Structure 1
């Protein structure tokens, strides 16, 4: 509203004076004094100079008073609007801080519960790191609402309840640290936790409702002030314009002014069209980023995440190109996992962290083709920045660590629209890094849930899941399947002689020997204790016996280095059961292989045995 008033009151009259060759001044006494005179190239005004001159000064004085009044009213209303907007922004800050407080309490409770259920040290670290954030966020909320006694009382009550809740979580955590997870579980009072959390949610909801009520009142007051300002400006400008029209009787000048206004209107319409185009473009970009965020949550593989990211980048920046790098496990190289677009600037398939300024600094590094004084990254084309091309390097980070790099190059005019496309790409890179880190964490947790930590082989749970699936596949294709049950001979005596640590080292060594001896399609598992199980799809009894014999001989020649001593060798006994001759169900094959194993041990150990019970 202020911009429109400024244009009507000052800018347009100045443009009219320039078109008539006068100095750039507002329409004041000097401008009005020239109205009766003839305009070059136009007929003289037909009005009576004496009659017009009698009302010139009073009319000018009235117009000046109106303009001054409009200006004073506008300044007063603008100050009121600024104050009202500040209170509205304050309400939004309070509502956002309430959400932050609730999220911080949820984070502490979630990490504490995760640690209590899993015992994983990462959850304990996150719990200990998140707990102090609760007091900080509540104190920040208290500072925001200290001007509101009711809200301040609720905030203090929320702080007390939150501290009680944290104290309960700390008590259970300390009990778990001292006596174990089972004791912590038994000591947890769900009723107390639910009651405390219910009070926290209730106080937060009440504070949010009260702040929303204040927000609605402030918005209404803001709207009233805006309407009042609009009415004052419009009425003042209309009155001033009416006086100016009465004073400006010259037909030629009026026509010229109409033409000038028409030209300015076309310019304003053009500017408005450009502004609307920019608004629409911003809206589409935000929609694409929102769509990306939603779809990213449903991606289950790295390829899906990378493909979705590339599609979104190309929607935000059509014609762009670049690469996505991920950090190797060695933590030394970043490997390219995907490239997109027709490369405007080349970048290698692998790079070191010191080759890129974004990886060094941990933040975006942009090279615009219009500025030759910028410092380029070592992994880009020599001579960057290239004319007309902008390069953006964004580190992919998660949990304060770098996991990769996103490099995007695009035409400079696309990046320099002024619509914050670089910020959108930065937000996309941030979400991409978090998504890849979460996927890696899920894969790590899944692997840990299916692997035996001592031997690195699959555990019994994976065996039970996979044996039935492989058995069904072989049955459909009419192929055999063999199950081998392995047991370390005299393992108890080995443990009693050398200690449990040596026994663990022996089992770990045997696990590596077994894993090295099996095929890619075989399933090697630790069944329990010193027993191992091998599932060999598409392998008949004779072939299974031959492979088992090679494993037995390899283990028989194996020794273990433990505490400077060479222990062993040891021997193993192996029992074999084969589908379909020895059974059609997974549990029958396991029972048959186990029975054959014990028979092999009874016959003297250190041997491979397969006894077919087929009719």
Structure 2
């Protein structure tokens, strides 16, 4: 320590004469001056460290503000406030530290103004981003005012650091000069004094060389890129201990600044990666929406259930690739979910299942099993299912259907499934409405049979089909005998009841492939494809007899029995394609049945000849 070295010198001077005292006084003066110079050297170190810390804090705040503005991640914003406070505090401390140097103090005051100005701009931009005004924050950042302030701060800090390093160099040179004076005093003393002072000088040199060597070695390691290099061990003096401590603190600050810069760069890289991932996700979702748009357009244009099923089978595997599944549509009359379309090799029972057998329909939300035992298995799936997904299709609280998928739906596929379900549910509702409207346009509202418009369309279609295939086509025209009697005796409501009863019997007696229509008034027409008059006459006779056995009732009132007359005609190649001649032939046969006494069937002679 310096104190023990001085004590040795005092002992030597006391033993020696006045020269030793003078020499000791000189050495003491030199030591005091050296102590002062070392103190100023430490002061310069504090100024350098504080200036660097202020600049580093300002850069950390700037990096956090830019990261928050670009990524909207609040984690970036948390570093802005503390860093700005540290920058303001360090700039104020610089003003205090440089009060001994007017020129440096003026620079410190100017630096404080610049730091506070840059801190105010960063704080204002960060506040805009915290309020959600990210566009304004980016515009404020792009305006360039912050860059100009940072350039001024950098320039002012560099000027201050250059002058402070020059002062530190002068002070170190003064210390070295004092060391040389001390050395000469020792050399020019008496031989004994020289010997004693040589021992003292040797001890002093060793005490200085070791910590200085250690410091130079650490500085060399730091310059070589070893940022973790620090001064350790005993320095031999308070001054060197403080110098080593100050150096270690400065190195720590430098390491933290580099780490913060690296962290900021990593955060920016992560933000860029996140933005790139989001862009890819948006692109994929855009492609899915485009596919769904094409599917929606086609489903809106579908006219039959088979067309709708074909569209589902083509587009759903494109939206949810490699996931087999099936679409079940609710049949209101049977209260069953019946399979409409399957894809991906999945096979489904054609009988369907009741709505209560699906937990998705019970709960009105998605129901899935990711692994065995993770949730309740729907009865319609079967107890052995270990991973599947049921998505309910609802509209206005009404069950439309359910989308069954055999597999696990990942996070990204959940978006696809949600949009897909909405499109399919909307298409099913639209398809149901279109079918209902079509039924209204082709059905007779009183009897529920097909109307004359549908008759004309179907007859033209069946005649074209018969002309191509050569298959027979027979038309039955019939009407209720003495129908006017019911209207006259019982009223028009009774007549409507007779029409409804007869229509129901006709619909029940004829086969599914036959088209039963109300031609108008009490007249009905039946189109029987692939059947000639001779074969059809037996069935018509059964229908005639069944109707003659009916007793029509209106509430508690019996309206009496009903009979019908029938005329049959078969299409021939020479007839027109619109069916006018065929209907006329059937009507002529009906007229003959009426003329011959009613309640009978007559076959067109041309059909008999064929």
- TM bucket (normalised to shorter chain) is 0.5 to 0.7
SS in 2 for 1:577: strand
Instruction: Assess if the C-alpha contact under 8 Å between 2:501 and 2:552 holds in 1.
Output: yes
- Whether the 8 Å CA contact 1:364–1:426 is kept in 2: the answer is no
Residue in structure 2 matching 1:8, options 63, 66, 71: 63
Q: Does 1:231 align with 2:286?
A: no
- Rounded to whole Å, the distance in 2 between the matches of 1:434 and 1:31 is 64
Deviation at 1:613, TM superposition (A): 5.5
Q: Secondary structure at the match of 1:604?
A: coil
1:612 match? 605
Q: Residues 353 and 65 of structure 1: is their aligned pair in 2 closer, same or farther, counting only changes over 3 Å?
A: farther
- Report the number of matched residues: 436
Does residue 394 of structure 2 align to residue 397 of structure 1? yes
CA distance in 1, matches of 2:349, 2:223: 64
Structure 1 residues 583, 411: CA separation in 2 closer, same or farther (over 3 Å shift)? closer
Conserved? CA contact 1:29–1:60, under 8 Å? no
Find the counterpart in structure 2 of residue 603 from structure 1. 596
Q: What secondary structure sits across from 2:561 in the alignment?
A: coil
Query: Residues 223-372 of structure 1 correspond to what in structure 2 (within 5 A)?
Result: 226-227=139-140, 230-240=143-153, 252=222, 255=225, 265=265, 268-269=268-269, 272-299=272-299, 300=302, 301-302=304-305, 305=308, 315=318, 318-320=321-323, 322-330=325-333, 332-338=335-341, 353=355, 358-364=360-366
Q: SS state of the match for residue 570, structure 2?
A: strand
1:5-35 C-alpha deviation (Å, 9 max, x unpaired): 74626999xxxxxxxxxxxx969699999xx
Alignment match of 1:429 (pick from 417, 421, 445): 421
Deviation, structure 1 residue 464:
0.9
TM-score, normalised relative to structure 1: 0.58
User: Are the counterparts in 2 of residues 494 and 503 from structure 1 also a CA contact under 8 Å?
Assistant: yes
Q: 1:472 aligns with which of 464, 476, 486?
A: 464
Aligned-residue Cα RMSD (Å) equals: 4.9
CA, structure 1 residues 245+445, in 2 after alignment: closer, same or farther (shift >3 Å)? farther
Q: Distance in 2 between matches of 1:457 and 1:407?
A: 36
Is contact 1:74-1:229 (8 Å) kept?
Answer: no
Match of 1:74 in 2: 122
User: Which of 534, 539, 542 lines up with 2:526 in the alignment?
Assistant: 534
**Shift in Å, 1:435:** 1.3
| Cα distance, 1:463 vs structure 2 | 1.0
Structure 1 equivalent of residue 508 of structure 2: 516
Following superposition, the deviation at residue 403 of structure 1 comes to 1.6
| Distance in structure 2 (CA, Å) of the matches to 1:263 and 1:589 | 90
Deviation at 1:73, TM superposition (A): 1.6
Rounded to whole Å, the distance in 2 between the matches of 1:610 and 1:69 is 108
Distance 2:476 2:357 in 1: 52
Measure how far apart 1:278 and its partner are.
3.2
283-292 vs 224-233, greater mean Cα deviation:
224-233
**Secondary structure at 1:402's aligned position in 2?**
strand
CA contact 2:331–2:337 (8 Å) conserved in 1: yes
What is the distance in 1 between the residues matched to 2:89 and 2:124?
29
CA contact (8 A) 2:547 2:564 kept: yes
1:160-175 pair list within 5 angstroms: none
Alpha-carbon contact 2:128-2:136 (below 8 Å) kept: no
Cα distance in structure 2, aligned partners of 1:347 and 1:538: 32
Deviations 1:259-288 (A, max 9, x none): 865686467435523531332123211331
The structure that has the greater radius of gyration is 2
Structure 2 gaps of 5+ residues are 1-58, 68-81, 92-97, 166-218, 228-254
**1:448 aligned onto 2:444:** no
**CA distance, structure 2, for counterparts of residue 9 and residue 378 of structure 1:** 51
**What CA distance in whole angstroms lies between the structure 2 residues aligned with 1:612 and 1:561?**
37
Supply the distance in 2 between the matched residues of 1:459 and 1:474 (Cα, whole angstroms): 22
Deviations 1:312-350 (A, max 9, x none): 66555555455543323158544454455599xx99996
Q: Is the 8 A contact 2:62 2:122 kept in 1?
A: no
Answering whether residue 474 of structure 2 is matched by residue 482 of structure 1, we say: yes
Describe how 1:583-602 pairs up with structure 2 within 5 A. 583-585=575-577, 586-602=579-595
> Cα deviation per residue 1:454-509 (whole Å; 9 max; x = unaligned)?
22221110111111221222223333322221011011112222332222222122
Gaps of 5+ in 1: 13-24, 34-49, 87-221
Separation in 1 of the partners of 2:115 and 2:389?
Answer: 50
Residue of structure 2 equivalent to 1:492: 484
Instruction: Answer yes or no: is 1:438 the counterpart of 2:430.
Output: yes
Q: Which residue of 2 is the match for residue 36 of structure 1?
A: none
Structure 2 residue aligned with 1:557, among 529, 549, 552?
549
Pair 1:605–1:361, CA change in 2 (3 A): same
- The SS at the match of 2:477 is strand
Counterpart in the other structure of 2:572: 580
Task: After TM superposition, give the deviation of residue 66 of structure 1 in Å.
Answer: 4.1
